[in-house]
Chain A
Amino acid sequence: DIQMTQSPSSLSASVGDRVTITCRSSQSISNYLNWYHQRPGKAPKLLISAASRLQSGVPSRFSGSGSGTEFTLTISSLQPEDFATYYCQQSISTPLTFGGGTKVEIK
């Protein structure tokens, strides 16, 4: 199984801050990496697919980069609605696996 490791597991930030979340895979996954966010009590929502492809309707303050084994999700200017838990997920091979999540909290 491919293990996905996110860091940090949680962070505190203020509105307007730049936030970066890292996701590492236990073996190369090319760009088969997706990012989701999950607000409390809601289902996860796809933000970015194929490491860097922003989904339709997702604000441009979100961006993704990386390939191989290291990936980043960046929020350029944190907004109140961005306080949530973020998950990465690999889709190159089964079993499909998720990172443990990064909870972004209000400072």
Chain B
Amino acid sequence: QVQLQESGPGLVKPSETLSLTCSVSGSSISHYYWSWIRQPPGKGLEWIGYIYYSGSTNYNPSLKSRVTISVDTSKNHFSLKLSSVTAADTALYYCARGGITMDPWFDPWGQGTLVTVSS
């Protein structure tokens, strides 16, 4: 059974960089796409971007200038960095397997981690 677990600081100061890691268990990270998705409190879902195990990425243009997604196959995890954060980046951040092409859906999802941007 594939399981994903997000980890990282729950509080980030404005203008700093948000950093999260998604650890994958029960499956090799190889040969799949892996995505980050976020959900502001009480709002809907926004796709942030995905990475293929080979390292190729695709980001939402609305965030592209601030987002970096990377993968570490040796540790079976992938990571998200979002720079220059503001209060608008406060959200539940989810990682999920899939995105497009071979896996054009998100399944499974991690439980999510709340990141609050505040001084």
Contacts and interface: CB of A to CB of B under 8 A. Distances in A.
Interface residues of A, number: 24
Interface of A is mostly: loop
A91 B99 contact: yes
A46 B106 CA distance: 7
B104 A98 contact: no
Contacts of B44: 87, 98-101
Contact of B45 (A44, A55, A91): A44
Interface of B is mostly: loop
B109 A43 contact: yes
Given A45-B109, A95-B61, 15 more contacts: A34-B105, A36-B106, A43-B109, A43-B110, A43-B111, A44-B109, A45-B108, A46-B106, A46-B107, A91-B99, A91-B100, A92-B104, A94-B58, A95-B62, A98-B46
Interface of B: 35, 44-47, 50, 58, 60-62, 94, 99-100, 104-112
17 contacts: A1-B61, A34-B104, A42-B111, A43-B110, A44-B45, A44-B106, A45-B107, A45-B109, A49-B105, A50-B105, A87-B45, A91-B100, A91-B104, A95-B47, A96-B50, A100-B44, A101-B45
